Structure 1
Amino acid sequence: MKLEFDPEDDQAFPASRLEILDAFSAWFVGHDHCTKDHAKGVAGDIGLALEWKWAYQDGNLTWWQVSHVMDYLLEWCPRKLSVSPNQCDDIREALGHWFRFLDAGKLLSADGHPVEMLLDAVEVLRDDFIAAMSDRSKFGMAKSLFSLGTDAGADMSDPGQVSAFIEQYNDLTIDERKALLPDHLFAHAGPPMPDRRLAPVILLNDDEISRSLASVPILPKFRDLVIFLGKGRPLTKKGHLTLADARVLVDLLATGDEMDPHYGDLTFRTTSSDNLRGLRLIVAWAKKAGIVRVLHGNLVP
């Protein structure tokens, strides 16, 4: 069973979530002798903690420290969840059951805190957790709007009443909206935005373009290669230029290669254009630059 995930991987954890929670439920039913329905409810609360560990932390569901318990119970849950005090206990106790499950299966990471310390944190934070869950300064935008709607008498489980409340809220001025919501929702977080203005583009005159071309000899070679190819030239089965085309290009592009080199009285026939290093490099660079490409067995511009 996979319990460590890349937080950037959008597929792996969702695909494994059910398997993980089913494994926990089977253990919990056998360990606590509870009903399957009760185990399913606890697993649902554990699922929230695991999604947080994956999406907002490091993705390692076996590595836990007291700081993780504090961040989850005192920061993330108050920002995201709207639950009763009794449900707060369910969420907190479910986290403890997850730690026991990992410990029982010897799955708890040795790099984290021991299970006793984690369970102590779950118990010690009970009152702070309940208080944080009703502390409006910790609410996120969605939870803040939910609370405002409830205060206004709207049934936030009724889509029609939710829509009506949102319309009323949107009719308020910006200052009126800010007065109803926690200040931190409007505070700018993180470093200042970079200045994305671009410098003006200075166009070169013909003389400057000519000097630039002369300083980069590969560019005329690319031009001559494109002119030679025309609508395209066929390649061999291995994807190389034909020897006939290679003979022309060696001279045209001044590649420095020697066709059929002579060594004393011996002549070594060039049997493949792939043996012509200079030509091979020019074609490879042209491909990399997007100047030429292979299409249906032909080299084309």
Structure 2
Amino acid sequence: MRTWFEPEETEEYEATRNVLIRRCLTWADEHGRPADDLLLAAALDARHHSRDGRLAYWDEHQIRRYLLAWIPKYVVTPREIVEIAPEILRTFLHYLSAAGLRDPRGATPAEADDAITRALPDFRKALDDPSLLGLAKFWAQTALDHGNDLAGPGALRDFQLDLDAGRIRYDQELLGKLLEARFTRTEPDLEEERDFLQPPVELPAPADLAVAAARSTTVRRLGALAGWAGEVGRPLTRQGHLTLADARELSVLLGTGEEALQVRSSADLPQLSLLLAWAGRLGLVRTGRGRLLQVARAAPLLRDPPALWARAFEVLPGLGESITMSGRAAVLGRCFDDVLTDVLNALYGMDDLPVARLAETVWLACQEHVVMDGAPERLKDLWRRRSALDLECALEVLAALGAVELTRGPADELCSSDLGHDDQALPPDAVERLRRRLAEPGLLLARLTPLALRSVRERLLAQGRDAPLIGELADCPAAELLGVLSQHYPPREAAVELNSWLSHPGQDVETLLRAIRDCPFRTRAAAMLAVLAEVLPQGRALVRDLRHDPVLAPTALTFLVDAGEVDPAALDRREHLLLGAENFLTLLELGGPRVLVEQLRSMAGDDAYELAAAILDSGHHDVAGLAELRELVAEPLRGRLLRLIPGTGTGARPARRKRRL
């Protein structure tokens, strides 16, 4: 059971959503909790249509986004149902935890309960705020208020006829406001664009990061600059610049190497100008009465190198005018903030990325931000070259801060492996240019330092993105650990994380196997077992031993057959039945009842019910899955068989409960 899907995996997501809703409704009924299929679907949709798309990851931000924005905008259901949406969300989150599906990096059930409770007053206000409605919900709710849920055949046509005839009244003033807000509202769309996946990263201990921050050239220079300015201050010219004499003195003190440059003004010393602008942004210095002064309130920040480093890194994107060669007039200077953020994201988790590769994507981004229509190709080529040089300047600034490590060497083959793909975003001329550059031996290469990795990761997390950290799963429940590893960790990183988990007392392989035995979903159990098989040194041998396990035998057999280690013809009758049951239950999860019915009919024809009955008698341990197979597949097949015999009943399947309140 996956809990993450690409946006285009519509059918796969909907199949999983249906399974989760069915299982959650059953669990809620067994535990006396409120549940509703429409609101459960809405909660899953809210997470699927988000930056990270993790269905089982919920924190306070996601809880509030769902309750205070998603429901008011999209969910159409009677008021008495929608009012208990917070309690239904509690049910769903507790179900995720009970089923071993919860993403352990999110809120615990207790933390989620507290977050929902805190959101209740605002939730009630949001329900009563008509401005939060979406246009689609406005019309659907209007139809529902007039006894039409728009679900039946011709319902939409009838509703339109009633509207045209004036038989349905609606709030025209509110509709006008919603139409206006659709084109003027500035807040982000709730259906967020999916962000690129980020690889898991490792970080040193906090003490090591603190030492690295204190060693940063830029941090030392910023501290020295503020101390040099002092409380008395340094005089400024009428134009607001340092005198040349003071600038040269400061250059020597800071080690920028600009003291011997022949310039007319201290403003023409690029490194010094950048440091002064940087210190100003950080609030370390200020100007007053014609002097440059140290800010007294900045003393705590100056005494805390890690905090100073983090703040310096945070404000850096706003210093594009001081970094690029032509300042604001430079093409990159006009979009430096956005582009630098993208560059840092591109470097995140990567090893020695060629700067030439970054330069092409930066130039592509510049063309999206700056209007170049009508400019001659020769001028565009000049701008492109200057943007590449400005990018190198920015990387050198980052290197001095200790955020980027710059080296020289050949490009990894992976950096050019996708250049011929159809989905390559670069235009043909850029691809050819990049092919030539990547073949050169002494390329400039860049990678983020651990300090930058930590800061970029914190920003990604604040944006609601998934940014795995090696070691963060070291003490989480076994089922949740394997669930995350199977979906979000490449093999090497999964091995490191799993070994870290196993190094803790009481956390062993048997605990992991127990979690797989307890897993109520065939697809998820298979993925969890595959993690052990591929990551543990003894993994394959472990799976072979499980062939005779009373619970895990079907899952192990499926793995071994798929891996070519077991010949299906060598299985005995019992193993054949277990293997068949595992495969059919898996198909029920992945495709739904209709797909499984079609598969059974294609395999057995008129004997499809007998095949389904054999699966039900296979001895497979998945009680929940077999119950669904009996209700959703076997009984409809049996009913069809009965209808073929004259004089029998309809064989109709019982109506399924939609909600429990």
Scaled by the length of structure 1, what TM-score is found? 0.51
Q: Match of 2:36, SS?
A: helix
Match of 2:11 in 1: 11
In structure 2, the gaps of 5 or more residues are 150-154, 167-171, 189-337, 339-367, 378-427, 429-661
Match of 1:60 among 39, 47, 54: 54
Report the residue type matching 2:6 in the other structure: D
Query: Secondary structure at the residue paired with 2:83?
Result: helix
The answer to whether the 8 A contact 2:131-2:174 is kept is no
Give the letter for the 1:113 counterpart: A
Equivalent residues of 2:97, 2:109 under 8 A apart: yes
Answering whether residue 106 of structure 2 is matched by residue 142 of structure 1, we say: no
**1:185 equivalent in structure 2:** 182
> Which AA in structure 2 matches 1:104?
A
* Counterpart-to-counterpart distance in 1, 2:98 and 2:147: 43
| Structure 1 position 49, deviation (Å) | 0.5
Judge conservation of contact 1:136–1:182 (CA < 8 Å) in 2.
no
1:71 corresponding residue in structure 2? 65
Provide, for residues 98-146 of structure 1, a one-character-per-residue CA deviation record: whole Å limited to 9, x for no partner: 1111222343222112211211222332232122122111111122345
Change (3 A) 1:147 1:43: closer
Please tell me the residue identity of whatever aligns with 1:185: R
Corresponding residue for residue 115 of structure 1: 109
Contact persistence 1:53–1:59 (CA under 8 A)? yes
Aligned to 2:27: 27
* d(CA) in 2 for partners of 1:81, 1:10: 20
Q: Which residue of 2 aligns with 1:94?
A: 88
User: After superposition, what is the alpha-carbon deviation per residue over 1:76-116, rounded to whole angstroms, capped at 9, x for unaligned?
Assistant: 11111234442123322111011111222343222112211
Q: Partner amino acid for 1:13?
A: Y
Q: Secondary structure at the match of 1:181?
A: helix
Deviations 1:236-289 (A, max 9, x none): xxxxxxxxxxxxxxxxxxxxxxxxxxxxxxxxxxxxxxxxxxxxxxxxxxxxx9
Aligned to 1:224: none
Q: Is 1:51–2:48 an aligned residue pair?
A: no
Cα 1:185–1:156 shift into 2, 3 Å: farther
Normalising by structure 2, report the TM-score. 0.25
Contact persistence 1:99–1:115 (CA under 8 A): yes
- Give the corresponding residue for 1:240: none
Whether the aligned pair in 1 keeps the contact of 2:133 and 2:178 (CA below 8 Å) is no
Deviation at 1:75, TM superposition (A): 0.8
Amino acid at match of 1:108: R
1:80: which partner in 2?
74
Match of 2:159 in 1: 162
Structure 2: distance between partners of 1:162 and 1:51: 26
Instruction: From the CA coordinates, give the structure whose radius of gyration is larger.
Output: 1
Counterparts in 2 of 1:11 and 1:130: CA distance versus 1, 3 Å? same
Tell me the distance in 1 between the aligned counterparts of 2:82 and 2:134: 17
Q: Does the aligned pair in 2 maintain the 1:21–1:43 contact within 8 Å? A: yes
Cα distance change, pair 116–146 in 1 and its aligned pair in 2 (3 A): same
Q: Is the 8 A contact 1:64 1:113 kept in 2?
A: yes
TM-superposed CA distance for 1:186, in Å, is 2.6
In the alignment, the residues of structure 1 paired with residue 79 and residue 173 of structure 2 have an alpha-carbon distance, to the nearest angstrom, of 30
Shift in Å, 1:148? 6.5
**Structure 2: how far apart are the matches of 1:73 and 1:114?**
18
Is contact 1:149-1:165 (8 Å) kept?
no
Q: Would you tell me which structure has more helix in proportion to its own residues?
A: 2
> Is residue 80–residue 139 contact of structure 1 (8 Å, CA) maintained in 2?
yes
Amino acid at match of 1:125: A
3-state SS in 2 of match to 1:132: helix
Distance in 1, matches of 2:117 and 2:77, equals 18
SS in 2 for 1:125: helix
Residues 141 and 120 (structure 1 numbering): CA distance in 2 closer, same or farther, change over 3 Å? same
Residue 66 of structure 2 aligns to a residue whose secondary structure is helix
- 1:135-284 mapped onto 2 (5 Å cutoff): 135-146=129-140, 156-157=148-149, 159=156, 162-164=159-161, 167=164, 179=176, 181=178, 183-187=180-184, 189=186, 199=374
Paired amino acid for 1:6: E
Query: C-alpha distance in 2, partners of 1:56/1:25?
Result: 24
Instruction: Tell whether the 8 Å contact from 1:85 to 1:130 is kept in structure 2 after alignment.
Output: no
Instruction: Write the distance in 2 (CA, Å) between the matches of 1:177 and 1:135.
Output: 11
Distance, in Å, in 2 between the alignment partners of 1:176 and 1:28 is: 41
Q: Which of 105, 108, 125 matches 2:119?
A: 125
In 2, the alpha carbon distance for the partners of 1:46 and 1:149 equals 22
Q: Against the structure 1 CA distance between its residues 147 and 90, is the aligned structure 2 distance closer, same or farther, given a 3 Å change threshold?
A: closer
Residue pair 1:155, 1:162 contacting (<8 A) in 2 also: no
Identity percentage over the alignment? Answer: 21
Shift of 1:12: 1.9
- Partner SS, residue 10 of structure 2: coil
- Measure, in 2, the Cα distance between the counterparts of 1:122 and 1:76: 15
Offset of 1:18 from its aligned partner? 2.0
CA-CA distance at 1:72 after TM superposition: 0.6
Structure 1 residue 194 displacement after superposition: 7.5
Number of aligned residues? 189
The code of the aligned residue for 2:68 comes to: L
Counterpart CA distance in 2 for 1:27 and 1:83 is 22
CA distance in 1, matches of 2:78, 2:114: 23
